[in-house]
Structure 1
């Protein structure tokens, strides 16, 4: 989906790479039929093969990492550095991935490369949405970001393994009273008639860390996530069984992931992804509540659209060399405008209380 949107929105040629050549070749052939004036090719590359990565990147200007290969972040980053090209990933947030990239920060800057990590939606959008709201207040005191989704299309078992592994690293931290601290309880958010009111748990994201320093008036900020994939099969079959499956063996982890992947297909409508930020503060002497909401029927589309909207800013040379989180790299006004233009529904409401 990222490849299709990039070809629609930018004057680029693409090389699709993956471990299974037949799979990426089929996608490349399909894209060539739609975009006959572009050079679109396919190659076999394994993210765990440094020599293969270096050979592939020698012919590229930029690499977009969409695979479930967080454990090979160093190989991919080292190969990109050697080739002197840009880098973008939209993978689940990972302490190991971030630590690896930060260890290369000096070399990235010295090489004049632009590396963007934590792309997509979660992570990728929460801090950007807060920055978008901030100048619309004279004094923004509270910004709470909430996310919920319901889909009947499951990610691959490999992606689910990666998501489950990274989920264990999340910390329920929120910023209150001048410090990041453990959230004491779940918080309810109104996701409109689509999902109604849902209890959400706090989930710390690295991209939020700098917000209290940037926006001095902020007293509270946090990211919250609602229950995902809620259906009878997941509640009564998949989750109870997977909780009993040992996770030390990769084979058992794959078995667990396949069960969860199959269970997601039982999700009832509505199929929708929604992320919103609720801001509270002051404007013209009045107490103001503002809600900015983004939604789309496909979570995969929003992830692709967010990634492409960021890449468009890179291609227009609006993001300087260095190591960036997507949320820090982009211009928030342009990002939101591009997301809306690409088809993401954007709604904003303001309520002043006297």
Structure 2
């Protein structure tokens, strides 16, 4: 069941709602993609044509956010809406609009005082130039530099090297952020699951999808993810107990052929919802629980053993990063790092998994 906020009707009761759709037709800070603020209702039409899965959905469509007099007003309004939803354990699903709206979504977690991880499915990092105004190509640098800062980790999935300056790649490495080239991600899509499971919020740029699958974007290119791969990624996002918001940005109906891109985004949202209603409440906070198996691996050059946990319910893996009690209290949601069986195998081969090392460097 989807409760809809329609003109002339009452605002939907959100008491038992778990997911809220929000359209944000804001494009004043778009770069190279004029028209991306006019597609929210087209995506909705395709989404409503899809049959629900085998679950009792509790979804509210809050309609389109009214744009502010200035773009800052729109950011403020979206932050306020997302903050209210998150504080009531409702997952915002944002249908943009340009990708700078990711910044407003991030600010909602600041309102809650929550340190988070962000994952972006994008063919570049969106760092922008020095002192550049906030826009769809510079929002990440604004998040990184914003004070107080509530970003623990940023993960990019699918960047294409010829779109990324080498200095930007070095900056990502120096910040101990996780960046994965398109070819490496597509070579083993199952490894995407722990990458996505580590995120609190996800931002999806439609230009990350190859042009033949999603022509509805002026910045789309011949290379990118396939449509079915994006549906796989959004289902992984839905399955993650940690993830609490997601945004779909940069859809441009002026460039779309026969509604192909809008239909794909609707299916991506469908797969996210399907994953959400398949969640298993699977997170090893109670390490003595019988729901998890504990594995200890001794490495030659490591004083302490690497600790892994495997869920008996889902067969998913985590690594524990050893740190002080004070650090654990501050980063209680981040010292347990989602991983895969391949990371465990790497440790058995006397090699430190890259994911463990990245988290350790940030926590230390």
Q: TM-score range by the shorter chain?
A: 0.3 to 0.5
Using structure 1 for the length normalisation, give the TM-score: 0.35
Higher relative contact order (CA 8 A, sep 6+): 1
Larger strand percent: 1
Using structure 2 for the length normalisation, give the TM-score: 0.34
Larger helix percent: 1
